[in-house]
């Protein structure tokens, strides 16, 4: 054969082999990428069930990066997954909010109400529905939108947000639940919730029914003072849980999350730090042992913030926690009165603190009921303050909301107002039926706010510095103390008459009496089948579904 022809054939063969090799590796890479993208973020694939995943780590050098202000709580679990959405308590939900009159898509439960008997210390009383703070968590998991919330019927509920049907049977505790649940932000199938029954719990949601993974008693630490409830919504960052309790202590728990060989989520928790949230000076100044921590802790950079029922706002340095260093208090400010609203933190590290006006003492008259604080100026942190002290009881129960360059707040009397974040100047105010204990939520340029007359309002916040015109008003019946959750076109809020409501744009997935879903007429979408609960986990008839 001609040598030149041989060389030509040899070159062609080599080119063919090289192309085949490149194609092989490209296909392998695509398969790996596709498998990674399709992997369920709430657990390992079955083939990897025995592997113990490494705890997630923040990409930032801080526990809570300033860039996260106003943003969702990480990128692993789409949704609103803790009270006020993130570690700085500045994220209120996502999606669109109707500007037309909303319709009730469903109510939960189908019949009766979520009620329970509880003793607040003055004798047994019936409590119904959801109260302060009571914000549901709403998030995407395995092709469904979950709505998870605690209620006054002693239970944590796991509901399909589209249909109002139970996904899992309610998880029963020993007393009412006032606070807002937290969903694990790293994708572990865990819900964290406190109760008045003395415990905060971690509840697994990866089976046919919820199961308790762990509980921490309010009596597990010493000394304690005042109460055994858990109202705060915990934060989970880098496998650590941060939570204050009505035992008046701050707690930090190393969770040690993982999975067993069958793929079920596990915990091996260790309480690594606790400290009293009071000091001798506070007890002397306040003159009472009511020093419980009822708000949800906040974290900015490497400082943990919270306040208590005696008005002590404090910051604790947690920078060296992972290296075994003991957290140390680095900021102290006294409001003079009960401060149950969570500390809100902006991009620059300023604190916005809402306080009640119940004692009527000279300190609370002096410093006001809404304060902007600069924790870097420890001896003189007040930037500005707003007073709401012309009546008793007055002041602020709900957590302030930040939107663009304004701060929003509601008062016990029913005053809803916006102030300039820079100066504290009141820009506008409205008056609703007091009390307005829920926290202002703005999503898609719509302010959603309710009152104790049972009305929920939508206001146009296209220009937050101008008095916002009312877009709509929906009468839900019972007093609205709970903060709404807003996600995916839905508004979810509980009332004190025993119900949870889902509101949507007219015709948008309204659930019929049978429990099926009517799709909007112009989409041609198919009706959604109702959820079913395994017989072994069937809930009580009073809490098994939804209706229009």
Distance, C-alpha 539 to centroid of its chain: 25
For 328, other C-beta atoms within 10 Å of its C-beta total 12
Tell whether the model's pLDDT for residue 390 goes beyond 80.
Answer: yes
Residue 201 falls inside a structural domain: yes
Q: What is the pLDDT of residue 507?
A: 83
State how many domains the chain has.
1
23 found inside a domain:
no
In a domain, 35, yes or no: no
Structure-block tokens of residue 419 = 């102030």
Q: Which residue is listed with tokens 């060296």?
A: 320
Does the pLDDT of residue 503 top 90, yes or no?
A: yes
pLDDT at 268: 99
**Helix, strand, or coil (residue 69):** coil
Rounded to whole angstroms, the Cα distance separating 186 from 241 reads 12
DSSP state of 48: G
Strand 199-204 relative to strand 190-194, pairing = antiparallel
Q: Is the pLDDT of residue 516 over 80?
A: no
Q: pLDDT for 323-338, tens place per residue?
A: 999 999 999 999 999 9
DSSP conformation class of 321: G
Residue 160 within a domain: yes
How far is 281 from 442, CA to CA, in rounded Å? 39
Q: What is the DSSP letter of 42?
A: T
Which pLDDT value is given to residue 56?
Answer: 47
- Whether residue 452 contacts residue 460, with contact meaning beta carbons closer than 8 Å, is answered with no
pLDDT of residue 511: 63
What's the average model confidence in pLDDT over 277-296? 97
Contact 313, 321 (CB under 8 A): no
Binned at pLDDT 50, 70 and 90, residue 6 comes out as very low
The string of pLDDT tens digits covering residues 110-132 is 999 999 999 998 999 999 999 99
Q: Reply yes or no on whether the pLDDT at 13 is more than 60.
A: no
Q: Kindly tell me if the per-residue pLDDT of 21 is higher than 70.
A: no
Q: Is the pLDDT of residue 15 over 70?
A: no
pLDDT over threshold 90, residue 465: yes
Ramachandran angles phi, psi of 137, nearest 5°: -100, 140
pLDDT at residue 7 greater than cutoff 60: no
Instruction: Report if residue 21 sits inside a domain.
Output: no
Range of weakest confidence among 87-96, 123-132, 282-291, 502-511: 502-511
Per-residue pLDDT, 351: 99
Give the per-residue pLDDT at 510.
Answer: 66
- Look at residue 166 and tell me if it is in a domain: yes
- The average pLDDT across 257-284 equals 98
The answer to the question of residue 48 being in a domain is no
Summarize pLDDT for 43-61 with one digit per residue, the tens.
443 333 434 444 544 578 9
Q: What pTM, to 2 d.p., does this model score?
A: 0.85
With a cut of 60, say whether residue 373 has pLDDT above it: yes
Task: From residue 200, give the alpha-carbon distance in Å to each of 30, 195, 196, 309, 475.
Answer: 44, 6, 9, 19, 34
The answer as to whether 537 is a domain residue is yes
% of the chain with per-residue pLDDT over 70:
82
CA distance 177 to 175: 7
Burial class (CB in 10 A: 0-12, 13-18, 19+), 186: buried
Cβ-proximal residues to 407 (8 Å cutoff; 6+ apart), any chain: 344, 352, 370, 372, 400, 401, 418, 419, 421
- CB atoms near residue 13 (< 10 Å): 10
Q: What confidence score (pLDDT) does residue 281 get?
A: 98
* Distance from C-alpha of 409 to C-alpha of 440, rounded to nearest angstrom: 6
pLDDT score recorded for residue 512: 52
- pLDDT, residue 421, reads 99
User: Using H for helix, E for strand and C for coil, what is the string for 328-373?
Assistant: EEEEEEECCCCCCCCCEECCCCCEEEECEECCCCHHHHHHCCEEEE
Domain hosting 337: range is 66-543
CATH number (domain holding residue 82): 2.130.10.10
More confident: 334 or 530? 334
């Amino acid at each position: 054969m001609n040598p030149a022809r041989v060389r030509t054939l040899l070159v062609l063969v080599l080119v063919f082999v090289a192309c085949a090799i490149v194609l092989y590796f490209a296909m392998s890479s695509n398969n790996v990428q596709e498998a990674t993208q399709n992997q369920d973020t709430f657990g390992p694939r079955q083939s990897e069930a025995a592997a113990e995943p490494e705890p997630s780590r923040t990409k930032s050098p801080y526990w809570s990066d300033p860039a996260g202000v106003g943003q969702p709580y990480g990128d692993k679990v789409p949704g609103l997954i803790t009270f006020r959405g993130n570690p700085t308590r500045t994220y209120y939900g996502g999606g669109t909010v109707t500007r037309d009159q909303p319709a009730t898509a469903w109510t939960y439960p189908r019949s009766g109400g979520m009620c329970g008997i509880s003793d607040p210390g003055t004798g047994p009383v019936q409590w119904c529905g959801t109260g302060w703070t009571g914000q549901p968590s709403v998030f995407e998991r395995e092709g469904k939108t979950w709505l998870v919330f605690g209620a006054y019927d002693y239970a944590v509920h796991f509901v399909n947000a589209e249909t109002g049907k139970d996904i899992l049977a309610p998880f029963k505790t020993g007393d009412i639940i006032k606070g807002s649940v937290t969903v694990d932000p790293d994708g572990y199938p865990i819900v964290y919730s406190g109760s008045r029954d003395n415990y905060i719990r971690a509840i697994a949601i990866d089976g046919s029914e919820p199961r308790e993974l762990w509980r921490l008693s309010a009596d597990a630490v010493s000394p304690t003072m005042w109460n055994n409830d858990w109202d705060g919504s915990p934060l989970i960052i880098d496998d650590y849980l941060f939570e204050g309790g009505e035992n008046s202590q701050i707690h930090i728990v190393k969770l040690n999350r993982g999975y067993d060989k069958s793929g079920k989520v596990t915990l091996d928790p260790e309480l690594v730090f606790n400290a009293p949230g009071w000091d001798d000076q506070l007890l002397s100044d306040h003159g009472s042992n009511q020093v419980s921590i009822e708000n949800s802790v906040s974290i900015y950079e490497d400082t943990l913030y919270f306040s208590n029922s005696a008005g002590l706002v404090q910051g604790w340095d947690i920078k060296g926690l992972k290296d075994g260093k003991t957290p140390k208090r680095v900021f102290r400010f006294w409001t003079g009165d009960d401060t149950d609203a969570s500390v809100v933190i902006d991009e620059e590290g300023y604190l916005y603190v809402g306080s009640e006006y119940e004692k009527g003492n000279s300190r609370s008259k002096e410093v006001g009921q809404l304060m902007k604080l600069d924790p870097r100026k420890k001896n003189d942190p007040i930037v500005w303050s707003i007073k709401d002290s012309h009546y008793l009881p007055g002041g602020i129960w709900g957590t302030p909301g930040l939107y663009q360059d304004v701060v929003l707040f509601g008062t016990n009397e029913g005053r809803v107002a916006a102030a300039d974040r820079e100066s504290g100047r009141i820009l506008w105010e409205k008056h609703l039926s007091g009390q307005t204990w829920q926290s202002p939520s703005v999503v898609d340029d719509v302010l959603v706010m309710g009152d104790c007359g049972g009305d929920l309002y939508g206001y146009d916040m296209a220009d937050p510095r101008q008095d916002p015109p009312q877009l709509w008003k929906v009468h839900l019946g019972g007093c609205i103390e709970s903060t709404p959750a807003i996600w995916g076109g839905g508004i979810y809020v509980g009332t004190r008459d025993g119900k949870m409501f889902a509101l949507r744009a007219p015709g948008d997935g309204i659930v019929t009496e049978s429990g099926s879903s009517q799709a909007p007429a112009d989409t041609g979408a198919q009706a959604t089948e109702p959820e079913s609960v395994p017989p072994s986990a069937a809930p009580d008839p009073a809490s098994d579904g939804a209706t229009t």
